[in-house]
Structure 1
Amino acid sequence: MGLFDITKPDILKMRQKQDVKGLVKALRYKKDWKVRWEAMEALVHIGNPATAALIEALQQKNRNVREKAAEALGRIGNPIALPALIKALKDKYPSVREKAATALGNIKHQMVVEPLIAALKDASPQVREAAAVSLGKVKDRRAVMPLIELLKEPQKSIRERAAEALGELGDPRATKALIASLKDDGRSVRANAALALGKIGSAEAVEALVEALKDPDEKVRWNATWALENIKKMQGR
């Protein structure tokens, strides 16, 4: 155990001096999660000058360091970090893979699409969910069919994110699958499916959305109402 592990790091001082090396080291401070969080925030504040050190931090043995490094890189948004973040999708810890998947969606580059599609089959539900959200942000139509498959996931939260992402992509190929999701057991899945259908704007969804106006959940009914109005606008009626 080194002196740094005993003495609480002075994050404010390191931030003022832009001590990137010291802040990265502070990411592994075990005694106080707040110190680790403040160190990450300081690195994000420093921005691009911290990118190289954070990329290097993705190789450190400490899981907390890798998690915070991935999150910080995503928030900084420098595309130079993409290869390292894509590699982090293979990290042995699901929490690191989840942070990497989220970071890739924040950077929004076409080279992240295939790795994120592969991450939809990750063993961790949290990683699959993060990958779905990120694919919705990137808005590349290569993700449409894999996200449609994700609507069959046993875990409700993943189906929610898949429906949401398909709405962001706005591809009519998802219409039939989203219509089926209006009958999902999860009310939030149904609500997201209704919203997504409204964003896609296909007249094919009108009948199912009219039926969804009778849904027992208020949010589903509200989203179905909005969707019908938006489809009407998109169809030029």
Structure 2
Amino acid sequence: MPLIVASLLTFAAAPAALAASAGAQEPPLLRGAYRGPYDEVLEEQALAREGVLLDGWERWEFWYEHERSGLTAGPVEEEPEALLPNGRYAVHPDALRRSEVIEAATPLLLRALRSPLPELREAAALALGRTGVAAATDALVEAVSDPVPQVRQAALLGLGLAGTPEGLVVLGDRFSDPALAVGDRCFAALGLGLSRRPEARSFLLAALESNLNLDRLAGDEERLLQATVWAAGLHGAHDFIPLLTARIEELERTAAIASRRVRTIALWALGSIHDPAATAFLVRRLGHQDLAIQRAAAQALGRLGDPGALGALAQRLRQGGDLQTRIFCLLAVGRIGGTEAGRVLAAQREAARLDRHLFAAWGLACGFARASQQLEEVRSELMAPPHVGDWQGEAVLDPRRDEERLRGALALGLAFSGDPGLLEDLGALLRRKGIDPDFAGYLCEAAGWIGGEDAFGLLAGVAGSGPSQFETLRGLAIGFAFLGTPEGAARSLDLLLDPDSPPEVRLAAAHAQRHGRFSSSLQRILGALAEDLDDPVLARRNAHLLLAVGHLADPWRGDRLQSALEGWNYRQEFRLQRCLASY
């Protein structure tokens, strides 16, 4: 009860007190996050002829890079526990043991949390949180007072991920203290959501009950409110649904423009709670006059996964209109899956043919839904000769490259459908001269997802073919890890351990260590860190290694922190979202 009382007294404090708080969320020190081809799209727009409107923001890669964790490691809501009753993380002979995490990894992570290098302290805080070792709580509590804001932010997230009662008290106090920087308070809110504990549910419900209203839609108060709504979605308690739906409707009537961002976050939260009780509410917003609300509703329905929404999604697709909304509707249909989803996708075949971005989304959706009647066409299109210029309204600087990127979506869709015959086609594509490095990278991911000895041989051949650009190396780091074999894990880890690997490659390899959970991988990482932990020249590489320890040792199957971005409309960018995307 004291936590709830504190929330009511301080979040609703006088605006002057909140205005006095300094410091918004700071971009993490970690480097290497890749959430889509932002640089390419901006360059294309800058070089485009006057009057030519490019549609690069509809590229499928943006969606996939935000969703990969849930698509491959599994949603955090399903089979959350990775640990088996025998204390191992997997069933293979080289499976990581929980005792190794406690006895070998935790002492090194605690040492890194005391490092003079802030990059290491930041990474160690996140890793300790993911491991969930209760003995690290005191160190994380101390780290929330670190002089570097990025370390404080990571420590607050770490306390939430660890979810200990002592950590919750600290998170509640930080969230409720109006004298603290608003950035710290926002991350304390997210920590409460990540904990998923009943005490945090009561705390967040009380805060939203008091503050999700018109009076909080400005300045620091709004930023804190956004984080609190986001935390409700991360927590996932069903109790949030009636409160969120009622307050969204009220804000639509009284402050439609001012509340737009808060409402889009609230729609994301409703989808993240995975309760069909929110379906009808979200369906009604598929036809909203505000495109941001339409898009958020379509994304939320895909994340929620209720087959009862398929009829409404099909109707919205038939209506045409906003391209981004239709893309999200197609992907939502695919994510929901089932026989009815296959029929909806079949009905959209001709419409999808009119736009390359729609077709990319359609191909991915057919793969997710395992729509067998459509998959043969997807495969045929993947291998067909280029037909540059055939897409309606095509306006890109390099049409051939753009088509290759589109076909990356088709390759992944087929891989997610589980088609083992795909490997031969992937090999033929990878042997083509001069293919786009983005395309090659996604082909490597597709091969890794199919798995098997032939897939390893294919990936090894790409790796041994000479120097590659970071996009291809990144696909190799992920594809090797997808194999789930000791040989694949070792090759992915080679790219992580190499100080000369681009940061995008190392970070991808660090995240990918969730696949397989090998004891030998942990031992190699700990050995490298024990030797070079305090070397400032290797600080960025070592930060990625520390993150990898957290991913290896996380007792949850899915990545709770990455789930903060799943189902999020990447075009709705703001400071807190950019911070989370960097992890």
Shorter-normalised TM range: 0.7 to 0.9
> Superposition pairs for residues 94-113 of structure 1, below 5 Å?
94-113=222-241
Higher RCO (C-alpha 8 Å, min separation 6): 2
In structure 2, relative to structure 1, the CA distance for the partners of 1:86 and 1:60 (3 Å cut) is same
1:88 aligns to 2:207 (yes or no): yes
Counterpart among 312, 329, 334 of residue 198 in structure 1 = 334
Aligned pairs, number:
216
Which is further off, 115-124 or 140-149?
Answer: 115-124
User: Which of 351, 356, 366 is equivalent to 1:212?
Assistant: 351
Q: 3-state SS of the aligned residue for 1:215?
A: coil
Structure 2 residue 242 is matched with structure 1 residue 114: yes
1:81, distance to aligned residue in structure 2 (A): 0.9
CA distance in structure 2 between the aligned counterparts of 1:185 and 1:54, rounded to whole angstroms: 44
| Structure 1 residues 122-164: Cα deviation after superposition (integer angstroms, max 9, x where no partner) | 4422221112222222210000011112223333233222112
Q: 1:40 deviation in Å?
A: 2.3
Structure 1 consecutive aligned stretches of length 4 or more whose deviation exceeds 4 Å = 11-17
Structure 2 counterpart of 1:146: 281
Q: Does 1:232 align with 2:380?
A: no
State the shift of 1:171 in Å. Answer: 2.6
| CA drift at 1:36 | 2.9
CA shift in 2, pair 1:67/1:195, >3 Å: same
| Structure with greater helix percent | 1
Matched residue type, 1:107: H
Q: How many Å separate the matches in 1 of 2:195 and 2:363?
A: 38
Pairwise CA RMSD: 3.2
Mapping 1:48-67, distance limit 5 Å: 48=164, 49-62=166-179, 64=182, 65-67=184-186
Read off the aligned partner of 2:306 and give its amino acid letter. D
- Paired residue for 2:323? 187
Residues 1:134 and 2:285 are matched in the alignment: no
Unaligned runs of 5+ in 2: 1-21, 23-112, 116-120, 126-135, 374-583
Aligned residues of 2:345 and 2:362 also touching (Cα < 8 A) = no
> Distance in 2 between the 1:112 and 1:223 partners?
31
Paired AA for residue 83 in structure 1? S
Give 1:32's aligned residue. Answer: none
Bigger radius of gyration among the two: 2
Unaligned runs of 5+ in 1: 6-10, 30-34
Identity in percent: 25
TM-score normalised by length of structure 1:
0.74
Shift of the 152–88 alpha-carbon distance from structure 1 to 2, 3 Å rule, reads: farther
Structure-1 separation of matches of 2:175 and 2:320: 39
**Contact map agreement 1:86 1:100 (CA 8 A) in 2:** no
Match of 2:361 in 1: 223
C-alpha spacing 1:77/1:41, structure 2 compared with 1 (3 Å): farther
Give the stretch that moved more between structures: 202-211 or 68-77. 202-211
Deviation at 1:57, TM superposition (A): 2.8
Alignment equivalent of 2:144, drawn from 3, 6, 23: 23
Q: Does 1:38 align with 2:151?
A: yes
For 1:19 and 1:136, locate their aligned partners in 2 and report how far apart those are by CA, in whole Å. 31
SS of residue matched to 2:302:
helix
Structure 1 residue aligned with 2:198: 79
Contact 1:168/1:199, CA 8 A, preserved across alignment = yes
